Amino acid sequence: MLAPALVLASSSPRRFELLGRLGVVPARIAVPDIDEAPLKGELPRIYVLRVALDKAAAVERSPDEIVLAGDTVIAVGRRILGKPADRAEARAMLALLSGRRHHCLSAVVVVDRDGVVRHRLSDTIVAFRPLPAAEIEAYLDGTEWQGKAGGYAIQSRAEAFVRFLSGSHSGVVGLPLMETRALLKTAGLTLA
C-alpha cells in the first residue's frame, strides 16, 4: 500500500511552516470555506474544536489522502478572541490581555484514509506583562497582528509581551507539534 498523501486544510503560512519542522510537506493545500462565527453561548474549547472539525470536513479527500486541519483561538474566561477585524478591535484585545493570563486553545483534526476522524486540543496558558498604551500602539503600527487570534503573533515582536507560558509554544503559533505528530503517525503518515 502506498503511503498516504497529506492535504493541509489551511491557508495559514504558519501551519505550513510548522509542518516543515516535523519534516512534512503537504502534497496539496486546500483552503476550507466555512463560517467561523461562534455560536451563541459557545464555550471556547467547544468552539475551536468545532471549527477545526468543520475545516477538515469541508475539504474533499481522495482515498489515498489524509487531511489535517486546525484552528487556534485565545480565550479569556468564556470569551473567545478570534482574529481582530481592525486596529481598534486588536487594541481592545491587547488591552484586555495586558497584565493577565489567558488560554491559547489550538485544535488539530486528522481524517485518515478510511475516513476516521481523530482530534486533539492543546491548551497553553500565556501571561502577558502589563502593556502600556503607547507600546500597544507601537505594536499595532506593524502588520503582524493582522489575521492572528487575540491580535498578536507570539513568534514575532509580541513574544516580548510574554512573562509566562505553560504549554505548547507551537500551539500558540497555530499548530501544536506534539499533538500533530501523534495524530499524523496514527493516520499512517511516516515521520522521522
Could you tell me the residue ranges of all domains in the chain? Answer: 5-186
For 91-148, the pLDDT digits (tens) are 999 999 999 999 999 999 999 999 999 999 999 999 999 999 999 999 999 999 999 9
Concatenated DSSP letters of the chain: -PPPEEEEE---HHHHHHHHHTT---SEE-------PPPTT--HHHHHHHHHHHHHHTS---TTEEEEEEEEEEEETTEEE---SSHHHHHHHHHHHTTSEEEEEEEEEEE-TT--EEEEEEEEEEEEPP--HHHHHHHHTSSTTTT-GGG--TTTGGGGGEEEEES-HHHHHT--HHHHHHHHHHTT----
In one letter, which amino acid is 157? Answer: R
Give me the pLDDT at residue 190, please.
Answer: 84
Give me the pLDDT at residue 3, please.
Answer: 78
- What average pLDDT does the segment 50-77 reach? 96
Q: What rounded mean pLDDT belongs to the chain?
A: 95
Give me the pLDDT at residue 34, please.
Answer: 95
CATH code for the part of the protein at 5-186? 3.90.950.10
Give me the pLDDT at residue 191, please.
Answer: 83
Could you tell me if 30 and 7 are in contact, meaning their C-beta atoms sit under 8 angstroms apart? Answer: yes
Measured N-to-C along each axis, helices 177-186 and 13-21 cross at an angle, to the nearest 10 degrees, of: 70
Task: Kindly tell me if the per-residue pLDDT of 192 is higher than 80.
Answer: no
Q: Of the listed 33, 35, 64, 71, which one is catalytic?
A: 71
> Is 86 tagged catalytic?
no
Q: What is the pTM of this model?
A: 0.94
Cβ of 75: how many Cβ atoms within 10 Å? 20
